[in-house]
Amino acid sequence: MRRVGILLVLAAASWTIGLGLGLLGSSTLGGLRREASPEARPERPAVGLSPRVSSPTPAPVTPVRGDAVDASPTPTAGIERIERIRIPAIGVDAPVVTKGLDPTRRMEAPDRPDEVAWYEFTALPGQGSNIVLAGHVDFVGVGPAVFWDLWRLRVGDVVELLLVDGRVVRYRVSGLETVVEAEAPVERIVGPTVSERVTLITCAGNYNPATGRYDQRLIVVALPIESARD
């Protein structure tokens, strides 16, 4: 099956991943406020929707420079991996699969429209850094995929990560940002951070049928409940 809404970052040849740089400093984060009720959330705009059944070629993952990402798996001694992700505000309850970089140094995308990828070169809950997950916005032959409604999230919504040992770690959305793919600040999207956070990524913006790609990426940041600001 060919993939259309295939997320991902990431980088022109000159980009590198930096330490301790995060989305939390972006002036655009926090600009979208939680609505009073789900009914008040706006309808999805028509722009950016792909012809999910007719793309002539798979959408490629943007290549990452060979030395831009440390592909070594994050040390996980005493840390349990993520089994599922739940986002009650938009009805997400999905399995989480582990992904990394392929042989050409590209970030691997989830194989299925209902899966969310966690990247093994990023942190796990409890490690105090950036936990990066990504999912498709849509999928050829299927239509809307797991992160189709990610744009509907508002500051204050809850993201739950279910670990393999049965524990649930909760985070609260602190901000949303849309970036142009060609100009995406990779280092502050997927790089390590000085405090724990969850970063969710999916496609956004306008779909180009000639390339099978979206021109933007939606980035959602969530902080541990005990430190998130209401």
pLDDT in tens, 117-143: 999 999 999 999 999 999 999 998 899
In sequence order, which residues have a C-beta less than 8 Å from that of residue 127 and are 6 or more positions away? 74, 79, 196
**Cβ proximity of 161 and 85 under 8 Å:** yes
Is the pTM higher than 0.75? The answer reads no
CATH number belonging to domain 23-37+47-65+79-224: 2.40.260.10
Task: Answer with the residue of higher pLDDT: 83 or 3.
Answer: 83
Name which of 149, 89, 80 is nearest 118 in CA terms: 80
Q: How confident is the model at residue 18 (pLDDT cuts 50, 70, 90)?
A: very low
For residue 159, pLDDT over 60 is answered with yes
Q: What are the residue boundaries of the structural domains of the chain, listed by start? A: 23-37+47-65+79-224
Strand-pair partners of 25: none
Q: Considering Cα of 133, then 175, then 202, then 106, what sign does the dihedral take?
A: negative
